[in-house]
């Protein structure tokens, strides 16, 4: 349990992030403790105070959360090692007590004080936190909440001798809270993985000496060295080169980029080959990578909260029920001739037991988690029950391209030999030469050629950075690379080659143009199906955002039937587009897989990550994870969300309908404790059975 002082201390550890200073965030400010705070991933019924000020909306006033104070519930920070221990012990005591009650003649000692103490221990194990929360909420004016109703109803059950009922109601409530806590604790790690991306030390060349410094100690204009396979620690200008870099951390695209001397290199890129030097142009806190981390932190803080229905309703329901219970005791004193206080107290306590929201407290979270379970079997992971609600409400889906709608793996798409050149011979020579390179495009060519190039003699291979390969293949000079390679060796080629959209490997044999191969990332098998299903499911706006070449992005979008697509984007560009859609009032889901997608995933109403190929950072930041990497599962997730919503509201109307009838009977003395038990536990069991039904639905 977290008291208010602990909460304030926890909030003080989180650093403020605003749009105007998203670049001014140091690694110290992005500590794992701050990153682990659960803001932005609240599940219904768990009102976490926002750890970061929201730049475009005022923090909720305390009275807006009157239904469910956070003081009574901690979510991992101060919990015992096993939060299920005491509820488990309470459950065992309850079951054993029920068995002993069933055989009164065989166990005559289980009466009176022994029976009271037995059930009392079972009750205290699960009820003391709720009772303490009810008491602690009084000074703040938050009196009428579900904590008070649960406390009065269960203590009332003990007062009239229905000990098992009091224990069962509180135990069911506690189990529902544990279900919610499990989802919250998963979401606490939302951006922790991103912290591991930033470099912790930098090799700096100063005055002819090599120094190893912390990134924050590096100054503008310093020359830093980056070894092969190492990550670029700071933004800078390449001083030695050319060099190839893996840019996936920033663009999400798997194709390496070749940088020439004088071109910009960004923190987060990985140097693929030789040792390089670069001149620092941005301090540690102003790098592109630091801004990505800051955007994630800021976007998580700006997520809207979804409160559980019973929490909101408790502000009205609880005081009415308590007031009516008091009236059941008081009013008959003035109108009944044979008024007996004990009789009307008994009726009032029955009234409270009937009115206890056990069916709602158990069946609502169970309904949501039934939906989560059904989604899990379909390969979809929801990190909280509130995201089922939001998923049902979205009208816009924005998707990344590579790894989300496409396979994320390069493959040869087309082989176009020049007139007079056999395709088999072209592939044989090119495959043998490309086997000497580790470039992803070269590897795609080798995989396509297969065994046809085995045993081919290759000599004098030269890799020309930014151009391609040159070598002697079976005694013939073969050039394989981009069109700049052919231009470098004065090899003429047809003009239509320059119009090819996909990545291209142009080939020349003995300085004569011999043809080309196109290499591209093919769409996933169900990508077009995903687009069709989303449109049919009421999604009014579908958008593709990608860091890949715009020409490729437009071609893939046209192939899949997506009307709006944008390419050549950095993470902040994607975030800008998404923010525009959100500002226009759209309910938006973003689907991505790369580290670069993490800020936008956090910013969206629902962030969806591809769990198979997706980066750990994006998966941790996302609200929903598609474990099978199938984009068609997005529409499946919406169907599950709608079914869950339907079942949950069926339970709500069932509970209130039955309770309304039995409450009236109880106030008139026509309902006994048996009816009270049915109205509470019986309706709860019916609601639970209805919630479990979600697990058997076909989606």
Helices (H), 394-517: 423-434, 440-449, 483-488
**Rounded alpha-carbon distances, angstroms, from residue 547 to 224, 249, 258, 553, 585:** 27, 11, 16, 9, 25
Give the integer Cα–Cα distance in Å for 49 and 531. 38
Written as six digits, the tokens of 423 are: 């395709």
Task: Give the bridge partners for 207, in sequence order.
Answer: none
**At a CB cut-off of 8 Å and minimum separation 6, what does 293 contact?**
25, 30, 191, 194, 195, 197, 198
Please state, as a whole number, how many other Cβ atoms lie within 10 Å of the Cβ of residue 33: 12
Q: Which residues of 337-385 form beta strands (DSSP E)?
A: 380-382
Catalytic residue among 47, 298, 389, 400: 400
**Rounded alpha-carbon distances, angstroms, from residue 80 to 74, 86, 514, 578:** 10, 10, 71, 40
Backbone angles phi, psi at 334, to 5 degrees: -95, -15
Burial 453-485 (b: 16+ CB within 10 A, else e): beeeebeebebbebbbbbbebeeeebbbbbbeb
Q: How far is CA 368 from the centre of its chain?
A: 16
Written as six digits, the tokens of 499 are: 């119009």
Q: Is 400 a catalytic residue?
A: yes
**DSSP β-ladder status, 276-280 and 202-206:** unpaired
Task: Give the bridge partners for 627, in sequence order.
Answer: none
What single DSSP character describes residue 76? S
Question: Does an H or E element contain 592, and which?
Answer: strand 588-592
Is the sign of the CA dihedral 481, 484, 486, 488 positive or negative? negative
Cis amide prior to 117 (ω within 30 degrees): no
Q: Is 474 helix (H, G, I), strand (E, B) or coil?
A: coil
Cis amide prior to 242 (ω within 30 degrees): yes
Written as six digits, the tokens of 126 are: 């699960």
User: Among 118, 173, 99, which residue's Cα sits nearest to residue 364?
Assistant: 173
Residues 390/204, Cβ–Cβ less than 8 Å: no
Q: Is 279 helix (H, G, I), strand (E, B) or coil?
A: strand
Give the integer Cα–Cα distance in Å for 513 and 81. 70
Helices (H), 563-682: 571-583, 598-603, 616-621, 633-667, 673-677
Helices (H), 70-111: 85-102
Which residue, chain included where needed, has tokens 């044999």?
509
Which residue, chain included where needed, has tokens 């009157």?
66
Q: What is the CA radius of gyration of the chain?
A: 32
The catalytic site residues sit at: 400
């Amino acid at each position: 349990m977290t008291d208010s002082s602990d909460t304030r201390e926890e909030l003080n550890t989180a650093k403020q992030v605003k749009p105007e200073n998203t670049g001014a965030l140091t690694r110290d400010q992005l500590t794992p403790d701050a990153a682990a705070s659960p803001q932005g991933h609240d599940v219904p019924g768990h009102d976490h105070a926002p750890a970061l000020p929201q730049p475009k909306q005022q923090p909720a006033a305390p009275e807006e959360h009157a239904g469910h104070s956070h003081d009574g519930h901690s979510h991992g920070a101060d919990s015992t090692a096993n939060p299920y221990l005491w509820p488990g012990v309470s459950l065992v005591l309850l079951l054993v007590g029920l068995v002993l009650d069933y055989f009164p003649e065989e166990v005559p000692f289980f009466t009176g004080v022994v029976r009271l103490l037995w059930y009392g221990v079972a009750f205290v194990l699960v009820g003391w936190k709720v009772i303490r929360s009810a008491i602690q909420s009084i000074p703040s004016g938050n009196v009428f909440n579900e904590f008070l109703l649960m406390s009065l109803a269960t203590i009332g059950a003990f007062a009239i001798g229905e000990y098992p009922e009091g224990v069962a109601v509180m135990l069911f409530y506690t189990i529902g809270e544990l279900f919610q806590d499990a989802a919250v604790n998963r979401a606490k790690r939302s951006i922790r993985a991103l912290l591991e991306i930033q470099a912790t030390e930098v090799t700096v060349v100063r005055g002819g000496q090599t120094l190893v410094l912390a990134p924050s100690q590096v100054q503008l204009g310093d020359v830093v060295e980056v070894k092969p396979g190492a990550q670029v620690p700071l933004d800078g200008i390449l001083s030695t080169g050319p060099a190839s870099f893996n840019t996936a951390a920033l663009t999400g695209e798997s194709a390496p980029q070749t940088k020439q001397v004088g071109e910009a290199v960004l923190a987060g890129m990985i140097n693929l080959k030789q040792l390089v030097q670069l001149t620092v142009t941005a301090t540690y806190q102003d790098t592109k990578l630091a801004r990505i981390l800051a955007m994630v932190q800021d976007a998580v803080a700006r997520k809207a909260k979804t409160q559980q229905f019973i929490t909101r309703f408790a502000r009205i329901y609880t005081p009415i029920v308590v007031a009516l219970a008091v009236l059941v005791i008081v009013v008959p004193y003035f109108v009944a001739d044979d008024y007996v206080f004990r009789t009307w107290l008994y009726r009032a306590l029955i009234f409270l037991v009937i009115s206890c929201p056990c069916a709602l407290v158990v069946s609502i979270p169970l309904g949501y988690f039934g939906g989560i379970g059904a989604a899990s079997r379909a390969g979809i992971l929801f990190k909280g029950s509130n995201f089922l609600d939001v998923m049902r409400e979205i009208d816009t889906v924005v998707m990344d391209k590579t790894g989300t709608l496409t396979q994320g793996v390069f493959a040869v798409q087309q082989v176009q030999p020049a007139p007079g050149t056999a395709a088999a011979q072209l592939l044989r020579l090119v495959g043998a030469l490309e086997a000497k390179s580790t470039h992803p495009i070269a590897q795609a060519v080798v995989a396509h050629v297969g065994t046809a190039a085995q045993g081919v003699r290759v000599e004098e291979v030269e890799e020309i950075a930014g151009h391609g390969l040159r070598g002697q293949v079976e005694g013939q000079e073969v050039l394989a690379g981009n069109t700049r390679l052919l231009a470098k060796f004065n090899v003429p080629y047809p003009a239509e080659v320059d119009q090819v959209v996909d990545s291209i490997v142009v080939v020349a044999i003995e300085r004569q143009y011999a043809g080309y191969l196109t290499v591209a990332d093919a769409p996933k098998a169900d990508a077009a199906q995903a687009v069709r299903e989303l449109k049919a499911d009421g999604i009014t706006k579908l958008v593709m955002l990608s860091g890949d070449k715009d020409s490729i992005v437009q071609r893939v979008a046209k192939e899949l039937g997506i009307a709006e697509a944008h390419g050549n984007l950095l993470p902040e560009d994607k975030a800008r587009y998404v923010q525009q859609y959100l500002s226009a009032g759209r309910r938006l889901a973003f689907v991505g897989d790369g580290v670069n997608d993490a800020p936008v995933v956090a910013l969206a109403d629902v962030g969806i990550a591809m769990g198979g190929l997706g980066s750990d950072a994006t998966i941790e930041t996302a609200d929903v994870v598609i474990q099978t990497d199938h984009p068609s599962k997005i529409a499946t997730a919406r169907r599950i969300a709608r079914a869950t919503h339907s079942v949950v509201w069926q339970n709500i109307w069932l509970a209130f309908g039955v309770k309304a009838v039995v409450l009236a009977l109880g106030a008139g003395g026509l309902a006994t404790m048996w009816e009270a038990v049915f109205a509470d536990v019986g309706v709860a069991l019916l609601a639970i059975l209805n919630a479990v039904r979600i697990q058997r639905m076909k989606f």
